Chain A
């Protein structure tokens, strides 16, 4: 990392020659002046089409039952859970960027944390759908939460699924609050800048009457810092709990102590990939190249590389333990992964998550925006495959051979996946259009700091 850092020092976090006014204006104007262009309409239309596909898929699901999917016994969990874990993982990068990097005083986070957080929210929204949809009787979902039941029944607290419910719900709430708190001063800015009386009222309400007073800032600063401090362990715990959905079960290939850390790493890995996938087009579309500079892309690429290495280590140790432990089922599973009926899934996973990211060792590739974009997408695919490999391959051949069975996704499996992606993008389009996609007050702070001492980074 340090070696890599020296190569990038010339890159500024913020292009020179910017004043408080200019940053505020550039970002605020996206919301206030700029009319949404043809591209926005076009992109949103496509995304919205897939939202409709999602509606269709869910409607039919509720009508007929989960049988419309490819799941069976033994493979009782299929795409639904794969997508759930994938989406929640993507969400984590947002929290990580805004929270952990804030604590580590990484000034380069400033220009990407806002939409990273938004991404978190939307990803968690997508993820949150699946645990409900995959239930045999989704209309009973609230039985998983504690409430005054006339039968005095409670959830079964020993089940990792219930841990999941609590972890994910908490995560959603905290992310939302974190996002909103960060937005309050920017809403105030918009309130003060807009000419439109209605927008003024709207932003006035959203900003709760914020007036940039020193006292406000002081408490704001503390609350924001503490939220970041809380979000950091939270994000780790959430994906650890998700990992425990598998690790706490005794299915071979799930029952592994390494899962929590390696799931967290995987989450950050896919999350950063997704941030890159989004940041690259957005900075181009809205001319924010000054704020999201090469340095950002470069640093994110490095984080991706690091996480990729941890994940690769995870795969390696899994395979090693299978043979070292001497457990025959573990050994069989590992062999079955490599040369069983789903060998293609496994090897493409290795290609996407282990081999391709190695390209990021080279500065040239980290700087080539198209390559970076492609690699990011490949990593996203790879991380989806990882969940598929873990869930489906482990289940389809477990302890008793007489009940081995293949799993083939149906049309509705794919439709649901595509639908959630559409939903995610649609939300992002709306966000980019109607919210300040970069935190203005923090940019002003950045202007202030860079003015004081030009090279502002650790």
Chain B
């Protein structure tokens, strides 16, 4: 495993010309360039596979060399300035035993989420949440899980290029330094720096140093789809950098105006946990009890159906313009001073307004109103006003000092940069990460501007220079003179502020695979700091900024825990009510479709477009993979006479794009939603390029004035059709059968509603029968066992459908990616399937309700799959696991046919990539990588069970409850999944299985006796009495 040529590329952080202590060939020892040259030529830019014989020969040559140095890479737990041979292994490392290192991931839109990274002999293989980090609480989102694939992505940029030609860091330093000298001469007037949203103190500090060196230089920020309206709204309301966090644990009533606080929102993981904690219940003989105070109520007005909407008691679909009026009216109804007047609303909205005003006024200081990106900055400011008015400030709504280094209106910031580029006032442009050539608003034509900039030849002064630091050779790198491969956050040092300001420390798990540079390195170079590694810079920064007695111990503790103690940004208690000027111009004229642009729920704004895991991850609600689509409500589709997959032209803001239609039950009528991040022109094998595009690019439709809610659009159907890979087409529950029962004033959703036909009502389980005596033809089997008996309970009431478990499972269990064609054939390989069902009439979106049910192997005690396997490849362990013996399987697929839950997956082809070297580093060594023709399925993470068992045998202690966390359970933000020992009475899982809401799916009908049971979801009626 460690004999990978790829490890050759683990070089000293800065390849010094002096003879290295440990050398790998005489050339290197001699410090001659050829060695590095040959290294880089091994993977020429953008060449992802070793196709041409020439490079293959090099490859073999180097592979040969690598065998001699097999161990070297294994010790690069952290990048050291030199490599230590494995003959003196570092003390921490015991081969075969993983180590966990605290680090901090820039997910959450550039904000930090604390993580623990699992490392096997120096190879990071799995990312877990850091329970000590306030933005994680032990959970992560799907994107963070998938980051491990980004790290090992063979399509990553692997070489420095200057105008397309391969170069080196030294080459870069050599050629850029003199230019910098010139710039410094006149205060760096010609220098522009473009960064993404910056929450990293050290980088901020370095930027200040750069700006000191070049006083006239300008710093711009741009992160596509990073809550620009919210930021603008805050600036408008308080005209100073303020950030707002929310305390869901104190909120009884939550009103979301198209704000999906459960995903793609700063602090979403924490909010999800706190939100669900307030809904935990127990249903026993004495009735239904709320466990953490009265159960909160969620009211969601939304344009595009969202995870929050799926959890809401009441949700009301509105177009952006309707939403705007609704917000104004709500403010007025609540008596907010100088709330803008509006015309009367239609009765339904009016009823909702009344309901909300009643609820909100009843619970002043114990409620909150949230605003989403489809609202303009004025409405945002108004919403802050509402929270002031309701006395929520300081209770449920917490204003803080901004966590960003410099909170600016990024749209204006980017526009300013474009202006500079066009007028020849800019000579050097430094782009730190980000991909503006792709994701800048269409009306800026950033790509063209950048192109003309780099090609322009001013009469006086040096030719303009554009430098781009990024993980991939992307659209922007293509237009820049210099491309510098970035180090992945798992490869570099750094620090990140979380949504609440907590500073997390990013600790590298492996030396840069491709000699990439971190933003810190690059900024240090621009600041004129020489001979200091990013680690030293980081450490020195905190040495002077961390007010503490003994820095050493504090620092070590911080590294250990992953974040600096009490570094949350301070609350602002005496924040005056926002001052509101006149409202913004009136909304779009009615009659036309309103366009909404959102980051994709899987690949975000496109930065993770080349991540196969995320591409194949079914989107939480549409269950689409590998594509974005023009989403609209069934009613509109009927009106426009378009159907699923039909390609339509969408014209808005002067530009037109083409994309397939997808009907989205619950979507508001009168508007369409398009997810951003697709249609990349230069990405990779998964993300596509201009030749074979994956999805279509919607950024051209965005404008600086209309980003998310992009104003009026016209749809014109075309004749073309396009197949979309949707993993679940059958989910709508027959509207004729909406029988739901009421217990103690609580309206429960019977599990029957998890199936689309009334006929199914008896099937999908009921509460466990009092006598769980096995029904069988056979005499009582001789399989009695009083050791461990593993079981699981999943709370469908707590599942928000965020997909994190699916990704965690894929990462933990080396599940392959199969590609769009295979998904179309119904061959996706995820071990967990989050079933999403709708209740209600699609024609009436307001009544439509969404239910999630995560489904993996049930580990039935009378497993139908085992009975029919001709070769005993799947059999039962003493502890009740339904075990799959891959190398015994002959692949008759009979087990899959006979599995009523259809949770088995088959390798119809050789799906797992066994050749790509970097993937070999990525795989979890404790899980077999499956071969062609073999059946596979959820194992309850048996490798983790065995690890715990070994530990307990070594320590001679019983396995405590909660010591074994399955990958899905560990990552779940709402702790909906609980795993444990059924023979250990106090174990939590037994408490849950005893609950009145617990049921075993299909058990009644098929007597499968599954070890995994579910807790029914309770839909709360809107009556006070229901808070039992």
Residues of A within 8 A of B (CB): 64-67, 70-77, 131, 134-138, 140-141, 143-144, 153-156, 158-162, 165, 248-251, 327-329, 331-332, 395, 397-406
Cβ contact within 8 Å between A159 and B910: no
A-B CB proximity, top 4 nearest: A136-B891, A136-B933, A67-B908, A328-B759
* Shortest CB distance B917–A (Å): 24
Complex: chain B residue closest to A410, CB-CB: B825
Partner of B890, one of A64, A143, A399: A143
Q: Is B855 an interface residue (CB 8 A)?
A: yes
Cβ contact within 8 Å between B871 and A74: no
Using A251-B898, A399-B902 as known contacts, list a sample of 15 further A-B pairs with CB atoms less than 8 Å apart, ordered by residue number in A: A65-B910, A65-B933, A72-B826, A131-B892, A140-B890, A159-B868, A249-B894, A249-B897, A250-B1006, A327-B1005, A328-B762, A395-B897, A401-B730, A401-B837, A402-B836
Cβ contact within 8 Å between B763 and A329: yes
Residues from chain A with Cβ under 8 Å of B910 in the complex:
65
Cβ contact within 8 Å between B934 and A136: yes
Residues from chain A with Cβ under 8 Å of B864 in the complex:
249-250
Contacts A65-B910, A73-B904 given; does A402 touch B730 at CB 8 Å: yes
Q: Is B827 an interface residue (CB 8 A)?
A: yes
Q: Is B728 an interface residue (CB 8 A)?
A: yes
Q: Chain A: interface secondary structure?
A: loop
Taking each of B871, B888, B900, B1005, which has the highest tally of chain A beta carbons within 10 Å of its own beta carbon? B871
Contacts A66-B933, A67-B827, A72-B826 given; does A404 touch B905 at CB 8 Å: no
Residues from chain A with Cβ under 8 Å of B855 in the complex:
400, 402
- A400→B907 CA distance, assembly (Å): 21
| Binary per-residue interface labels of chain B (188-213) against chain A in the complex, 1 for a CB within 8 Å, 0 otherwise | 00000000000000000000000000
Cβ contact within 8 Å between B868 and A73: no
Q: Chain B: interface secondary structure?
A: loop
- A329→B833 CA distance, assembly (Å): 22
Total interface residues on B, CB under 8 Å, equals 56
Contacts A66-B891, A67-B827 given; does A403 touch B762 at CB 8 Å: no
- A397→B755 CA distance, assembly (Å): 12
Contacts A66-B933, A67-B827, A405-B826 given; does A399 touch B900 at CB 8 Å: yes
* Shortest CB distance B838–A (Å): 11
Complex: chain B residue closest to A75, CB-CB: B826
Q: Please count the residue pairs between chain A and chain B whose beta carbons lie under 8 angstroms apart in the complex.
A: 169
Cβ contact within 8 Å between A136 and B889: yes
Can you pick out 7 interface pairs between chain A and chain B where the beta carbons lie within 8 Å of each other? Answer: A77-B893, A134-B893, A137-B891, A158-B867, A161-B868, A161-B870, A401-B756
Q: Is B872 an interface residue (CB 8 A)?
A: yes
Q: Is B416 an interface residue (CB 8 A)?
A: no
Residues from chain B with Cβ under 8 Å of A161 in the complex:
868, 870, 892, 894
Cβ contact within 8 Å between B872 and A136: no
- A198→B252 CA distance, assembly (Å): 100
Partner of B898, one of A71, A141, A250, A400: A250
Cβ contact within 8 Å between B836 and A72: no
* Shortest CB distance A142–B (Å): 9
Complex: chain B residue closest to A69, CB-CB: B908
* Shortest CB distance A390–B (Å): 12
Partner of B896, one of A64, A65, A74, A158: A74
Residues of B within 8 A of A (CB): 728-731, 755-757, 759-763, 822, 825-827, 833, 835-837, 853, 855, 864, 867-872, 888-894, 896-898, 900-902, 904-910, 932-935, 1002, 1005-1006
- A75→B826 CA distance, assembly (Å): 9
Cβ contact within 8 Å between B898 and A332: no
Partner of A77, one of B826, B897, B935: B897
Residues from chain A with Cβ under 8 Å of B728 in the complex:
402-403
- A71→B907 CA distance, assembly (Å): 12
Cβ contact within 8 Å between A160 and B896: no
Residues from chain A with Cβ under 8 Å of B731 in the complex:
401-402
- A358→B908 CA distance, assembly (Å): 43
Cβ contact within 8 Å between B888 and A153: yes
Partner of B905, one of A66, A70, A73, A401: A73
Partner of A329, one of B760, B892, B932: B760
- A162→B872 CA distance, assembly (Å): 11
Contacts A328-B762, A329-B760 given; does A401 touch B755 at CB 8 Å: yes
Contacts A67-B909, A141-B890 given; does A402 touch B897 at CB 8 Å: no
Cβ contact within 8 Å between B825 and A70: yes
Cβ contact within 8 Å between A400 and B901: yes
Cβ contact within 8 Å between A250 and B900: yes
* Shortest CB distance B375–A (Å): 34
Residues from chain B with Cβ under 8 Å of A155 in the complex:
870-872
* Shortest CB distance A236–B (Å): 23
Contacts A71-B908, A136-B893, A137-B889 given; does A402 touch B870 at CB 8 Å: no
* Shortest CB distance B907–A (Å): 7
- A331→B757 CA distance, assembly (Å): 11
* Shortest CB distance B951–A (Å): 29
Complex: chain B residue closest to A245, CB-CB: B894
Contacts A135-B892, A159-B894, A328-B760 given; does A76 touch B906 at CB 8 Å: yes
Complex: chain B residue closest to A407, CB-CB: B826
Residues from chain B with Cβ under 8 Å of A158 in the complex:
867-868
Complex: chain A residue closest to B1007, CB-CB: A250
Contacts A160-B868, A251-B898 given; does A135 touch B760 at CB 8 Å: no
Partner of A398, one of B729, B761, B869, B902: B902
Cβ contact within 8 Å between A137 and B871: no
* Shortest CB distance B638–A (Å): 22
Residues from chain A with Cβ under 8 Å of B836 in the complex:
402
Cβ contact within 8 Å between B892 and A73: no
* Shortest CB distance B324–A (Å): 37
Contacts A76-B896, A399-B901 given; does A162 touch B870 at CB 8 Å: yes
Residues from chain A with Cβ under 8 Å of B825 in the complex:
70, 72
* Shortest CB distance A154–B (Å): 8
Residues from chain B with Cβ under 8 Å of A70 in the complex:
825
* Shortest CB distance B850–A (Å): 13
- A70→B826 CA distance, assembly (Å): 10
- A187→B905 CA distance, assembly (Å): 54
Residues from chain B with Cβ under 8 Å of A137 in the complex:
889-891, 932-934
- A400→B1010 CA distance, assembly (Å): 15
Residues from chain A with Cβ under 8 Å of B853 in the complex:
402
Residues from chain A with Cβ under 8 Å of B760 in the complex:
328-329, 332, 401
Partner of B835, one of A131, A153, A328, A400: A400
Taking each of A70, A327, A329, which has the highest tally of chain B beta carbons within 10 Å of its own beta carbon? A329
Residues from chain B with Cβ under 8 Å of A136 in the complex:
889-893, 906-908, 932-935
Complex: chain A residue closest to B874, CB-CB: A156
Cβ contact within 8 Å between B730 and A404: yes
- A76→B761 CA distance, assembly (Å): 26
Partner of A159, one of B759, B867, B893, B907: B867
* Shortest CB distance B637–A (Å): 21
Partner of A153, one of B759, B822, B872, B932: B872
Cβ contact within 8 Å between B902 and A403: yes
Complex: chain A residue closest to B895, CB-CB: A76
- A162→B901 CA distance, assembly (Å): 24
* Shortest CB distance A400–B (Å): 6
Partner of B870, one of A72, A144, A331, A398: A144
Cβ contact within 8 Å between A135 and B868: no
Residues from chain B with Cβ under 8 Å of A332 in the complex:
757, 759-760
Complex: chain A residue closest to B902, CB-CB: A403
Cβ contact within 8 Å between B890 and A251: no
Complex: chain B residue closest to A158, CB-CB: B867
- A327→B762 CA distance, assembly (Å): 9
Partner of B871, one of A156, A251, A404, A406: A156
Taking each of B755, B757, B893, which has the highest tally of chain A beta carbons within 10 Å of its own beta carbon? B893
Residues from chain A with Cβ under 8 Å of B907 in the complex:
65, 136
Complex: chain B residue closest to A329, CB-CB: B763
Residues from chain B with Cβ under 8 Å of A159 in the complex:
867-870, 894
- A73→B760 CA distance, assembly (Å): 21
Cβ contact within 8 Å between A73 and B827: yes
Complex: chain B residue closest to A66, CB-CB: B908
